Homo-oligomer: A and B are copies of this chain.
Amino acid sequence: MQDHGAHLMLELFAMYAAAKLAAEVFTRLRQPAVVGEILAGVAVGPQALGWAVPSETTHLLSELGVMFLMFGVGLETPPPALLRVGARAAAVAALGVVVPFAAGWELMRLFGETGIRSAFVAAALVATSVGITARVLAELGRLETQTARIILGAAVIDDVLGLLVLAGVSSAASGALDWRALGFTAALALSFVAAVALIGAPALNRAAPGIARLHTPWFAVAVVLLFGLAWAAALIGVAAIIGAFLAGMALAEATGEEHALHQQVRGATELLVPFFLVNIGLQLDLHVFAQTQTLALALALTLVAVLTKLVGCGLGAWGLGWRGVLQIGVGMVPRGEVGIVVAQIGLALGVIGQSLFGAVLFMACATTLIAPPLLRPLYHGGPSR
């Protein structure tokens, strides 16, 4: 058994211990713990200590981490609370897609890129990665504010829109745009979200007494639902984390204050979320700074990414007061892994090269790091926990 698994264990230990150490230090310095955990990923990653490298393992743990993160957030979000902010969330999402896409396109044309390359990079600017914002809001205990709910609702709609944009640019890259297929995907995705919120959640409420009588604990039933909806979401092309969020939301009322369930979800979350955050840090490619052209592009892209979500989503939130507008605008800034996935598809299709890919990767990480310190004062953030 010598060496069997020793490397895996080192990787798990290094990632988790570094994340928790950084979280403790950052919390004491009254900084967001998430930023510490992402930077811990840079420290143990291939660019520095080299104890962990992005792999199937880190990807799986990261995926599970963000799924449980969004599941836990969903658990605190009963459907009526989300439906109440529906129209507002839709406006925030729509403007938060149109403005970044248009600006991203213009920026890339300015840098002399072709139309299809510009479209891919612009598409990578579209989808908000709500995991980071949700984590910060949870840290601050602000998940139940109106703006938090608008952000969560907008993120769900935003993901569906982002999916359509990506499907559009992908089909444009491989030939002509298929508008009928796009419309079908849109209808499927929206029906899925509506079915879970309007049919699934009430059905679960009615089934709750029966579920409580099973030998299987509530937590296991919840995990079955989580994996099931994540699979369904991935099947129809929405991100799996949206399925996870919807699973939590559908369970929010059925389980109510079920104490054991919430503690057990917290256990799974505490175990897995650090891997999600560390994994972002692992992927941060500092070599982008080596080439001036790429560096300029990366910085410009990041600036555009921040400003366009601020302006787009802020416009959508108009009338909620300056603080509300800023909370929502900043909350929608992180692109995280969604932008990275879009760029990876562009890379795989041969549309964009390593340099553009590096710039998008930098933008995704930078927007993720920028948002938390800005969010905290906006939500009156003192030291958390």
Interface, chain A (partner B; CB < 8 A): 1-6, 8-10, 12-13, 16-17, 20, 23-24, 27-28, 56-57, 60-61, 63, 162-163, 166-167, 214-217, 219-221, 223-224, 227-228, 230-231, 233-235, 237-240, 243, 260, 263-268, 270-271, 274, 338, 341-342, 345, 385
Contacts and interface: CB of A to CB of B under 8 A. Distances in A.
B60 A237 contact: no
B265 A227 contact: no
Q: How many copies does the complex hold?
A: 2
A10 B271 CA distance: 22
A217 B341 CA distance: 32
Contact of A234 (B9, B166, B215): B9
A167 B260 CA distance: 44
A379 B163 CA distance: 55
Nearest to A220: B20
A266 B219 CA distance: 10
Given A56-B56, A263-B260, A263-B264, A239 B9 contact: no
Given A227-B13, A231-B9, A20 B267 contact: no
Q: Taking chain A's interface residues, is the majority helix, strand, or loop, or is none over half, making it mixed? A: helix
A234 B60 contact: no
Given A267-B265, A267-B267, A215 B63 contact: no
A181 to B, nearest CB: 11
